[in-house]
């Protein structure tokens, strides 16, 4: 029989005494004299025996007790064994221990939330971690697959999707205070100083119409779903991966327009003692206006530059180029540089893997470009095809507009007779490796940062490529098709 967590009994000796007492009562071995058992253990033992008798008949119980005292050897075909009502508890138990360490349940009770809803909210949080799904699927998972309800003394059959919805609303009402509490708590537990914070923005779409939603709006979808309404999710994360602050915006807001609001809220919530943290943002948010705003509010920043520098000089000629490897083991070269007209420092980064990728993309576009040129040339000689010279040049113009990176490597000529094109010929120019291929620049306001320190900040923030949104693990973490909590 499952006895639950037994929070009332703190030691192994007390639990062993309870087990012995249950065996005595269930086997009708009680003595005439009052046994030397504490009151709390005696009450628990009688309660569990009552529960046990309700489940088993008296004859079955007596037979089970008698057989347990006899030594018998029985051959069992292990392949014939079947498990009934088996439920998982491993991941759920790990999440429960984490919640206990963070003290989330006690904090919510201190804020006035009823214990029933605190337990349901904690159950929902654990379910989201172990089995991220809709409330409808979560209800089925708790009933059929998971033992998570036993961690909170809740009956799995009585946990409904409506209770999960309601617990989410109650939990969301404590969002700002809870984020502030968790930010301070994780700093205390792990002795963190919030020296680096990462700000980024993503969006997620809804399958439904969302007619009555004020936040869900049509906008630029990162998942190419222009037909569905969106909401934007802004996140502030520490370098160690702990969430510091979050906020949901309307789906039609631009990435670069949210940083000011987040910084104001962050200033009141993030605990920093020595100095304000370094704000790490990606190139899409690192507009000149945003960088100016950060400087005015005395925040240092680090970002991927929105443009490749054409003119730059090394900061220290003696320091030279550092040869390192990124988190994926790819060779890179870094060097600290400055550019005229800008007070910020830049880190020149040359990635050999990125260079190969760019060359491969150029080759791919060149193949597509030549395929389209071949189609234009063949259309001249088929019935109903485009033959007039001006129309042929219009098709070529649209092709140049579509593949500008490939077009610069070609010279095209259209031979004609009385305004009718007779042939399209092209010549591919020799392609020389450009020094800017595989190169990008990291920009920072930290005046005393060395090039290795800049690279360390860059890698610790998780932005190992100029655009973090293209990383599959980023989409897995923040993108969903269901509800947003």
Question: What is the Cα–Cα distance from 236 to 263, expressed in whole angstroms?
Answer: 9
Q: Quick check: 447 and 186 in contact, CB under 8 A?
A: no
| Residue-wise DSSP of 355-417 | HHHHHHHHHHHHHHHHHHHHHHHHHTTSTTS--BHHHHHHHHHHHHHH-HHHHTTEEEEEEEE
More confident residue, 124 or 464: 124
- pTM attached to this predicted model: 0.60
Average pLDDT over residues 442-449: 85
Predicted confidence at residue 464, as pLDDT, reads 38
CA 266 to chain centre: 20
Going from the C-alpha of 292 to that of each of 62, 96, 253, the distances in angstroms are 81, 44, 20
More confident residue, 128 or 243: 128
Instruction: Provide the 10 A C-beta neighbour count for residue 343.
Output: 9
Say what percent of the chain tops pLDDT 90: 17
In terms of DSSP H, where are the helices of 27-75? 39-55, 58-68
Predicted confidence at residue 432, as pLDDT, reads 60
Instruction: Give per-residue pLDDT as tens, 193-250.
Output: 777 788 888 888 988 889 899 899 998 888 888 899 999 888 888 878 888 888 888 8
Q: Quick check: 145 and 139 in contact, CB under 8 A?
A: no
Average pLDDT over residues 306-325: 80
Q: Quick check: 256 and 285 in contact, CB under 8 A?
A: yes
Q: What is the mean pLDDT of the chain?
A: 81
Query: Does the pLDDT value for residue 47 go beyond 60?
Result: yes
Confidence of residue 154 (pLDDT cuts 50, 70, 90): confident
Backbone angles phi, psi at 12, to 5 degrees: -65, -35
Confidence of residue 403 (pLDDT cuts 50, 70, 90): confident
More confident residue, 450 or 151: 151
Q: Where are the domains of the chain?
A: 12-67, 90-173, 311-466
Residues 6+ apart with CB under 8 A from 222: 202, 203, 469, 475, 479
Local structure of 201: helix, strand or coil: strand
Query: Does the pLDDT value for residue 454 go beyond 60?
Result: yes
Confidence of residue 299 (pLDDT cuts 50, 70, 90): confident
- Of 209, 123, 205, 216, the residue nearest 161 (C-alpha): 123
Specify the residue for token string 């929070």. Answer: 7
Confidence of residue 482 (pLDDT cuts 50, 70, 90): very low
Range with the poorest average pLDDT among 67-71, 276-280, 331-335: 67-71
Question: What is the Cα–Cα distance from 355 to 350, expressed in whole angstroms?
Answer: 8
Residues 6+ apart with CB under 8 A from 234: 199, 200, 201, 246, 247, 248, 249, 258, 262
Predicted confidence at residue 40, as pLDDT, reads 86
Instruction: Give per-residue pLDDT as tens, 176-195.
Output: 899 889 988 988 888 887 77
Confidence of residue 138 (pLDDT cuts 50, 70, 90): very high
Range with the poorest average pLDDT among 219-223, 319-323, 367-371, 417-421: 319-323
Instruction: Give per-residue pLDDT as tens, 55-112.
Output: 776 556 556 656 555 667 778 888 888 877 788 899 999 999 999 999 999 999 999 9
Question: What is the Cα–Cα distance from 208 to 200, expressed in whole angstroms?
Answer: 26
- Of 101, 28, 35, 104, the residue nearest 69 (C-alpha): 28
Q: Copy the structure tokens of residue 422.
A: 């007779």
- Of 247, 244, 245, the residue nearest 232 (C-alpha): 247
In terms of DSSP H, where are the helices of 274-351? 288-296
Query: Does the pLDDT value for residue 478 go beyond 60?
Result: no
Q: Copy the structure tokens of residue 372.
A: 């389209």
């Amino acid at each position: 029989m499952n006895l639950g967590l037994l929070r009332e009994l703190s030691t192994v000796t007390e639990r062993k005494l309870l087990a012995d007492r249950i065996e005595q009562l269930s086997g009708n071995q009680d003595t005439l004299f009052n046994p030397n058992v504490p009151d709390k253990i005696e009450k628990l033992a009688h309660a569990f025996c009552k529960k046990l008798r309700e489940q088993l008949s008296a004859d079955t119980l007596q037979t089970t007790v008698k057989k347990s005292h006899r030594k018998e050897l029985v051959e069992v075909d292990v392949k014939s064994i079947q498990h009934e009502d088996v439920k998982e508890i491993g991941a759920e138990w790990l999440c429960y221990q984490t919640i206990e360490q963070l003290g989330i349940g006690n904090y919510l009770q201190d804020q006035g939330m009823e214990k029933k809803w605190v337990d349901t909210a904690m159950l929902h949080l654990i379910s989201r971690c172990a089995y991220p799904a809709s409330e409808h699927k979560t209800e089925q998972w708790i009933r059929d697959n998971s033992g998570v309800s036993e961690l909170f003394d809740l009956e799995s059959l009585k946990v409904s999707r409506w209770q999960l919805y309601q617990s989410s609303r109650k939990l969301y009402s404590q969002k700002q205070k809870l984020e502030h509490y968790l930010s301070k708590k994780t700093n205390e537990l792990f002795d963190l100083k919030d020296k680096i914070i990462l700000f980024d923005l993503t969006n997620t779409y809804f399958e439904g119409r969302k007619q009555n939603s004020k936040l869900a709006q049509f906008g630029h979808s990162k998942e190419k779903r222009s037909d569905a309404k969106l909401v934007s999710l802004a996140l502030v994360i520490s370098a160690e991966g702990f969430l510091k602050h979050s906020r949901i915006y309307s789906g039609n807001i631009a990435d670069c327009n949210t940083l000011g609001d987040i910084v104001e809220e962050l200033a009141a919530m993030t605990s920093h003692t020595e100095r304000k943290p370094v704000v790490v943002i990606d190139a899409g948010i690192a507009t000149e206006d945003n960088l100016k705003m950060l400087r005015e509010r005395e925040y240092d920043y680090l970002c991927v530059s929105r443009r490749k520098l054409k003119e730059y000089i090394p900061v220290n000629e003696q320091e030279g180029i550092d040869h390192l490897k990124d988190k994926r083991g790819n060779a890179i070269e870094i060097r600290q540089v400055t550019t005229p007209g800008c007070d910020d420092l830049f880190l020149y980064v040359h990635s050999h893997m990125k260079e190969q990728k760019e060359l491969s993309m150029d080759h791919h576009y060149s193949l597509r470009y030549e395929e389209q040129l071949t189609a234009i040339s063949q259309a001249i000689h088929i019935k109903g095809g485009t033959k007039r010279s001006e129309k042929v040049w219009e098709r070529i113009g649209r092709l140049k507009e579509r593949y500008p990176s490939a077009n610069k490597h070609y010279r095209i000529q259209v031979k004609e007779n009385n305004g009718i094109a007779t042939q399209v010929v092209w010549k591919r120019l020799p392609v020389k490796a450009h020094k800017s291929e595989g190169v990008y620049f990291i920009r920072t306001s930290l005046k005393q940062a060395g090039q290795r320190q800049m690279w360390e900040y860059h890698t610790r923030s998780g932005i190992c490529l100029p655009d973090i949104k293209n990383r599959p693990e980023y989409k897995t973490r923040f993108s969903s098709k269901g509800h947003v909590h």
